[in-house]
Structure 1
Amino acid sequence: MGVLFDYFAAPDHDAAATTIDLDGGPAEASFPTVALKGLDPFVQLGTLESLLTGADYDTVIERDLAPVAMADDGARLVVALTEELSAGLSDADEARLREVAEPWSRTEEFGGQADPADLVAVLTELAELARTATTRGDRLYCWACV
């Protein structure tokens, strides 16, 4: 089984941290959630943030996605996503998401084999989640379980 990554919106770090021990992840706590098995918040979403915002990738990955909760020696983890990524997703319209999906699909992390149309669907879900977070005054987080 691969790593499970659930992206979700929560009001703050304390609320997000409560999901660490939930077998069903943040959805079990009724947080707005997008489940994306295998799409990591560090490298793949770092590349996405760079493409969406125009920020240099090295600058993006230097931003620390500090854990807000960790269990089982890191086998379960909750991290806050960057405000820059959240804003980039929230502000992106469908045309921008399609534009970003093409170069993102060709990155090394996808083995250069990802279907841009599939990534547009993923980006659309993430953008909707980011808009929900913005509307509610929430932040975006990732719950990871190995």
Structure 2
Amino acid sequence: MSIVIKFFGAPDRDAAAAVAHGGPDGVFESLTFGNFDAEEALIEWESIFTGRSFEELAVAGEPDGVADPDDGEGVVVLAASRVLQDALAAADERRLAEVSQLWVQERAADGEVFDRETATGILTGLADLARAIGGREDRLYCWMA
């Protein structure tokens, strides 16, 4: 199974939902990754940053579904919480490495092998994007196909 994941900043939910079928490339600044469950990762990252449990965040509706035009059978657009976006934007290199290590450990506990360097690269890229879009008051979204 191959999953394409693109994190991007957009001014609002409608703008983010508008790229559901074509993706954010050429419309919004984006970062592309692949082959992990970004919906689950958004919850795990917020849990690690905030200390809230995965279950608590899932029950609270995180991450927020913005678009699911194929009713779970294709592309989906999710909104990262403002709490996660702010935590990413505020995180320094040491904190990002720490969160990455904890995320790698969580994935390993579920039988998924993730390289720590790759995980740190993902979170560092997201932190840079969160800082860039935060100055424009945009929100952080995730497109998956």
Shared topology, TM-score over 0.5?
Answer: yes
Amino acid in the other structure paired with 1:9: G
TM-score after normalising by structure 1: 0.87
Q: In the alignment, is residue 56 of structure 1 matched against residue 53 of structure 2?
A: yes
**Do the aligned residues in 1 keep the contact of 2:20 with 2:76 (CA within 8 Å)?**
yes
Q: Mind listing any 5+ residue stretches in structure 1 that lack a counterpart?
A: none
Q: CA deviation at 1:112?
A: 5.0
**Do the aligned residues in 2 keep the contact of 1:11 with 1:137 (CA within 8 Å)?**
yes
Cα distance change on mapping 1:138 and 1:117 into 2, 3 Å? same
Partner residue in 1 for 2:26:
28
Q: What fraction of aligned residue pairs are identical, expressed as a percent?
A: 36
Runs of 4+, deviation exceeding 6 Å: none
TM alignment of 1:57-136, pairs within 5 A: 57-64=54-61, 65-74=63-72, 75-108=74-107, 111-136=111-136
Structure 1 vs Structure 2 CA RMSD: 1.7
Q: CA deviation at 1:52?
A: 1.4
**Do the aligned residues in 1 keep the contact of 2:130 with 2:140 (CA within 8 Å)?**
yes
TM-score after normalising by structure 2: 0.88
Q: Mind listing any 5+ residue stretches in structure 2 that lack a counterpart?
A: none
Q: Distance in 1 between matches of 2:16 and 2:77?
A: 7
Partner residue in 1 for 2:12:
12
Q: Distance in 2 between matches of 1:20 and 1:100?
A: 29
Q: Pick from 17, 30, 34 the counterpart of residue 37 of structure 1.
A: 34
1:53-75 CA deviation, whole Å, 9 max, x = no partner? 22222222223133222223331
